[in-house]
Chain A
């Protein structure tokens, strides 16, 4: 049953991705992107990653879609027809795909418990979390306690990105005002 739910969601995800490649209207692309994120969130919950699923639904499907829509509002909503041949990009992606599929041959199968990843460090966290941090949700204890510095670094990245966005868009407003004055004078 778990395999079946997983398979259906993966097929939906592929279908939405193909639609995103084909559609030329950017508004439709953004809405399909939201659907893609929700499917991804459902898939993550089906794979027991409940915290990740909720974050993806809120941030991936919510905030990302809002950001993309506001960017569309400030720019254009239609994509120009392609001028170049798509053969080279297609060849590049197929080549990359083949190399990656070759790489998956050595990966453990889905749902396997006896992999080094699941028996070594993951199991260790699950065993020690309650004794060392008293937090029942192991994702929370790893995020905030064992790997707290990771989270601090993440916050620094977001802060930097926020400053970057502010600086880029602040210049925009000032220039617009000057343009307005120029138009008024002439």
Chain B
């Protein structure tokens, strides 16, 4: 039982660390890639990593989904679920707006690469 607890401690941390890795990956894509659609995909990865950050502390081991029934006594925390439901839908709305801007930029400049839109990148 002691060993199981230690294992639970390490695995419990893994959840947070992979969330951090996803945030890092999203940030890296946004900063390093000049292609705007790739940037938006990076932004989505960043957003979805926040879902993990919110939902995983609300999970209770041995609990079930928060739908009240006489058969169960332990439920996971419903509040983060509600907040993330809102976040998902708003995330898609911002993605759609971003993609519409990319389509317009492509039309005006003939390119979706940030380097080409800004010129030769001499300022770098």
Contact = CB atoms under 8 A, between A and B. Distances in A.
Given A75-B106, A129-B68, A158 B79 contact: no
Contact of A52 (B37, B51, B107): B51
B24 A93 contact: yes
Interface residues of B, number: 85
A52 B17 contact: no
B57 A115 contact: yes
B60 A111 contact: yes
Chain A at the B interface: SS class:
helix
A161 B89 CA distance: 11
B93 A161 contact: yes
Given A97-B24, A122-B79, A165-B100, 15 more contacts: A17-B45, A30-B41, A40-B51, A48-B60, A48-B76, A49-B76, A63-B92, A67-B96, A75-B102, A75-B106, A76-B112, A96-B24, A101-B20, A107-B57, A162-B96
A5 to B, nearest CB: 11
Contact of B103 (A74, A92, A97, A164): A74
Given A30-B41, A172-B107, A83 B88 contact: no
Contacts of B31: 88-89, 92-93
A42 interface: no
B79 A168 contact: no
Interface string A46-87: 011111100110011001100110111011100110111010
Interface of B: 7-9, 11-18, 20-25, 27-29, 31-35, 37-38, 40-41, 44-45, 48, 51-52, 55-61, 63-69, 74-82, 84-86, 88-97, 99-104, 106-107, 111-113, 115-116, 121, 124
Given A47-B59, A101-B20, A175-B107, A68 B99 contact: yes
Contact of B35 (A40, A79, A121, A139): A79
A71 B63 CA distance: 41
Chain B at the A interface: SS class:
helix
A125 B88 contact: no
11 contacts: A14-B18, A47-B55, A60-B91, A89-B28, A122-B77, A126-B68, A139-B66, A139-B78, A157-B90, A168-B97, A169-B100
Contact of B78 (A20, A115, A125): A125
Nearest to A26: B37
B88 A60 contact: yes
Contacts of A142: 78-79, 82
A129 B95 CA distance: 34
Contacts of B64: 48
A67 B120 CA distance: 30
Contacts of B116: 80
